[in-house]
Structure 1
Amino acid sequence: MLEYLIQQSDRTYEELADEFSRMDSRAAISARHLGRLARGERDLASSTPATRRALQAMFNKSIDELQRPWAPHQLTPAPERHLVVDPTGAGPERNLLAMAAQRARQYAMLAAESTSPAAIEQLAEDVQRLALAYPQRPVSHVLPDLVETQDTLFTLLERRQAPNQSRDLHFLAGITSGLLAKVSHDMADPHSAMLQARTAVLCAEQAGHPGLQAWLRGLQSLVAYWAGRYAEAVRYAEAGREYATQAGGTSAVWLPASAARAYAALGNAEQAKAAITEAEDAWSRVRPDEMDEMGGICTFNQPRTLYYASDALAWLPGEATATERYALRATQAYADPNDPAWAFGDQAGSHANLAIARVASGDLDAAADALAPVLDLPADQRINGIIHSVRRVHQAITRAGHAGDARDLIDGIEHFTHTPANALPR
């Protein structure tokens, strides 16, 4: 029934998925997952309560009715329509084509006894699309496709595969599990984040991929840092060095940059500054590897180097000028949301560090201006790292004795952190 109603709605899966999000942000669902629900490949009853409510409101049918097989006598016949070639590809014809393509894709992925190069190429494109989208989209927008892609990869890996195919599938599964570790971290669940990261490390070992190993150590360092386990964050960053040297990619920059801010959080200014210098110097030796080719969250770039340096220096007393210099350059580097390097989380962190530097110099109005774009972020973008960064501004204000003079800013911060992304009902 659901599939029939969607076909008759003159809307694409993408349009309906967007409409669900507008109706209720808790009903976030991907176009692909909506297609699976429509085809009966996923049980409607097992969907989240928000998704079930949105579907019932959209089609004015109960969940039981929506998942029943459609019979022609159940509905008034739709008005007669003539098939017209629409250059935009809109309407039910586009949905039918999308459904056919998805069925063909699923067959190609799972029906063959061994995984074909074409299937692996398609999976690689799926993983790359998710890696590119992750830094620029709310978690809820990428999570359904991410979970589905991991499920497909693990299903294939449970079968006997030729060595080359096994290597490629483990590589892609490692990235996907790493992305899910980042999701768990962003939703303030470090335990699940580390579990996914350990699974990803096992995949990287099976793939024999030093670039993936180095990237995953950077990811584990990131999770530990935001969980307040700074010594552990240093250990993960150090553990990835050998892999980064073998791979030659941008993880050789990310790892010392990660160590820098963990050292700074521990109060070790000398080690922190040395690690910043090491990260900056490492750029001259970078040879982009397979992780860098994925792009997005799988690579490290110059704007992130500036952001990490400002994040490290913001911990250190007497470094307000240097913090402001790096943070200002980082905010400028992240100014264009159309830039492929743009990432809303790192942009927000850069603004928070700029605010901390200006609090340290006593310019509270400038600090408020720096933090204003962050406080305007919608709830679904208030991920764990951003919440922590904004709280650091709060701490900087109170420790400097400016709480009375920055009442509006304090109130804005407290209102912002009251509803982080992980607090949204699902």
Structure 2
Amino acid sequence: MSGPNELLREARERTPSRRAPGEHMSRSELADAVCAWLWSTTEVKYELDGHYIAKLERGAVRWPGAAYRSGLRSVLGVSTDTDLGFFPPPGTAVTEPDPIPPSSMAGHDDDLVDAGDESIALLSFAEQSNVGELTVEQLHADIERIAQSYLRMPIRPLFEKSRAIRDRAFALLAGNQSPRQSRDLYSAAGWAITLLGWMSVDLGRPDIAEGHTRTAWACAEAADHDVLRGWIRATQHTAAFWQEDFSRAAAYAEDGLRYSAGTARLFLASAASVDLARAGRTDKARDLLDVARTLAVRPADSEPGGVFLCTPERAEGVWADTHLAFGDPRRTAEHADHSVAQFETAPYAVRNSGSERMARLQQAKARLLLGELDGAVEAVEPVLALPPEYRVRPLVHRLAEVAALTAPYLRSPKGRLLRDRIAEFTQQPGLPARLAPPNRQRVTAESP
């Protein structure tokens, strides 16, 4: 059978999105859901992504592996492979349903990764051309994995991998490709460089991030890629914001609204409201906040996810920051509480750990301003337990703001303990900070 696999596409479009209410599942969301199901079922990590789902829907692959077929049947709610347009090659003996193969490589993760990397490196040679479809797909799949792993894994190896993707894409661009392949390579390079820019901000060098994003923008122009343009503007906003240049940050965010598609639009409208509020332009900040609240969230297929995905809970954490700039700690607490509650129930595949931590610190600041020391301690505790490799510069900066708000509470043991643990976190990042006194006795908060 040849031609597009309409049965699979129709099954996906019948399945409600778990990320965007009222919408159907995107290809990347379906891939994430299958991987999550396989992990929960087999405790084996699979690397299915939206690009492979696209190949299945195009009919390029009519008989995926048994594990993928099992996961797709489960997520899409069908009982047989034929319901999804999957037919075995002639002469293949099949039993229904196909079992998920058990892992026979337990304890050999490094060998598996090395072998996968070696095979990836041979793609261009195997396709007998400067660049082929599989090579480009692998670059984009690597970008998705990095974006979705960000702040769940140490930054350094992800930074090096992003730089390698950037260099690989430009090396391929030096050869001969079709115009479409060139656009895809520029897109891959642009996403990789944007990742380098975002990481540079988190590593404390927003000035270097701006150099990355200028080159990323040139790539987005060459690729004519609006979703990438939107997230580059979001990164430029972030770099300017952490240099406390709020007017320039707002200009980047507002300009990004001209280009952005997918969830970048929600992030940019929310971010612009914070920038304008901090710059003292309260009326316009409220206008942008109203715009953000009315936007429907629909991820674009080309959004890598992770740091390049703005879910409702991520946006609401930003809105909490806007209300803090307005001087309204009660509304700050409402939005931050709701944001954290949503993060805690979100599927692992779309749970943005970095944004969740920032929302918890907005909770803490609001609680301190409202006179609720115990609530502030509860909000900060998960952040102070972070291992050193996740203590990025913006998080440390926000914790310093929390520490500054503890001044009215320093007559109480718990207030002093909170301040001291934050100081331990920020000044000695090699040591985990915990909100428990050394003798393990409970400390009762006193009135400030």
- Residues 397, 272 of structure 1: alpha-carbon distance in 2 compared, 3 angstrom cutoff: farther
CA drift at 1:141: 4.3
CA contact (8 A) 1:327 1:353 kept: yes
Amino acid at match of 2:276: Y
Which amino acid in 1 is paired with 2:265? A
Q: Does 1:219 align with 2:232?
A: no
Matches within 5 A, 1:183-262: 183-244=199-260, 247=261, 249-262=262-275
CA distance in 2, matches of 1:278, 1:347: 22
* 2-structure distance, mates of 1:289, 1:117: 21
Q: Distance in 2 between matches of 1:262 and 1:395?
A: 21
Corresponding residue for residue 280 of structure 1: 293
Distance 1:367 1:159 in 2: 56
Match of 1:291 in 2: 302
* Residues 303, 341 of structure 1: 8 Å contact kept: no
Partner SS for 1:296: coil
Higher relative contact order (CA 8 A, sep 6+): 1
2:383 aligns with one of 374, 381, 388: 374
Match of 2:133 in 1: 117
Question: Paired residue for 1:163?
Answer: 179
Work out whether 1:270 is the aligned partner of 2:279. Answer: no
3-state SS of paired residue (1:373)? helix
C-alpha displacement at 1:101, in angstroms? Answer: 4.5
Identity of aligned residues (%): 29
8 Å contact from structure 2 (residues 124, 130) kept in 1: no
Other-structure match for 2:362: 353
Provide the residue aligned with 2:350 in structure 1: 341
Is residue 345–residue 385 contact of structure 1 (8 Å, CA) maintained in 2? no
1:389 pairs, out of 388, 393, 398, with: 398
Alignment map for 1:90-105 (pairs within 5 Å): 90=106, 99=114, 101-105=116-120
* Partners of 1:186 and 1:384 within 8 A in 2: yes
Aligned AA (2:286): K
The answer on whether the counterparts of 1:307 and 1:330 sit within 8 Å (CA) in structure 2 is yes
Given that residues 151 and 390 in structure 2 are in contact (C-alpha distance below 8 angstroms), is that contact kept between their aligned partners in structure 1? no
- Structure 2 distance, partners of 1:100, 1:378, is 30
Q: Cα 1:420–1:175, aligned 2, differ >3 Å: closer, same or farther?
A: farther
In structure 2, the partner of 1:182 is: 198
Distance 1:288 1:368, change over 3 A: closer
Task: Give, in angstroms, the shift of residue 97 of structure 1.
Answer: 6.7
Q: Tell whether the 8 Å contact from 1:136 to 1:342 is kept in structure 2 after alignment.
A: no
CA change 1:168–1:139 in 2 (3 A) is same
Q: Which amino acid aligns with 2:201?
A: H
Q: Is the 1:135–1:342 contact (alpha carbons within 8 Å) kept by the matching residues of 2?
A: no
1:266 Cα deviation from its structure 2 partner: 2.0
Gaps of 5+ in 1: 1-85, 422-426
Matched residue pairs, number?
327
One-letter amino acid of the counterpart of residue 281, structure 1: T
1:209 deviation in Å?
0.8
CA offsets, 1:283-327, max 9 Å, x none? Answer: 2xx5532433x222222111111110012212232x111000000
Measure the CA separation in 2 of the matches of 1:388 and 1:99.
38
- Per the normalisation by structure 2, the TM-score is 0.68
| In 2: Cα distance, 1:392 partner to 1:314 partner | 12
- Bigger drift between 374-383 and 127-136 goes to 127-136
Contact kept in structure 2, 1:185 and 1:384, CA below 8 Å: yes
Q: Which amino acid aligns with 1:107?
A: L
What residue identity is the alignment partner of 2:176? R
Q: 2:182 and 2:346 mapped to 1: Cα distance?
A: 37
Cα offset, 1:128, TM superposition: 1.3
Task: Decide whether aligned partners of structure 1 residues 214 and 110 sit closer, same or farther in structure 2, where only a CA change above 3 A counts.
Answer: farther
Range 339-348 or range 172-181, more displaced: 339-348
Instruction: Indicate if the aligned counterparts of 2:207 and 2:239 stay in contact, CA closer than 8 A.
Output: no
8 Å contact from structure 1 (residues 114, 162) kept in 2: no
Q: Is 1:128 equivalent to 2:144 in the alignment? A: yes
| CA distance, structure 2, for counterparts of residue 300 and residue 335 of structure 1 | 16
Write out aligned runs for 1:37-48 (5 A). Answer: none
**TM-align CA RMSD:** 2.4
Report if the CA contact (8 A) 1:348-1:374 is conserved: yes
Q: In the superposition, relative to structure 1, how do residues 87 and 390 fare at CA in structure 2: closer, same or farther (>3 Å)?
A: closer
**Do residues 365 (structure 1) and 394 (structure 2) align?**
no
What letter corresponds to residue 376 of structure 1 in structure 2?
A
Q: Which amino acid aligns with 1:387?
A: V
Q: Which has the higher helix share?
A: 1
Q: Which runs of 5+ in 2 are unaligned?
A: 1-101, 431-448
Confirm or deny: 8 A CA contact 1:225 1:233 kept in the other structure: yes
Alpha-carbon deviations, 1:94-125, whole Å to 9, x = none? 86676554334213236844211121112221
Hey, what's the Cα distance between the residues in 1 that align with 2:409 and 2:156?
37
Cα 1:98–1:131 shift into 2, 3 Å: closer
* Counterpart Cα distance in 2 of 1:104 and 1:91: 20
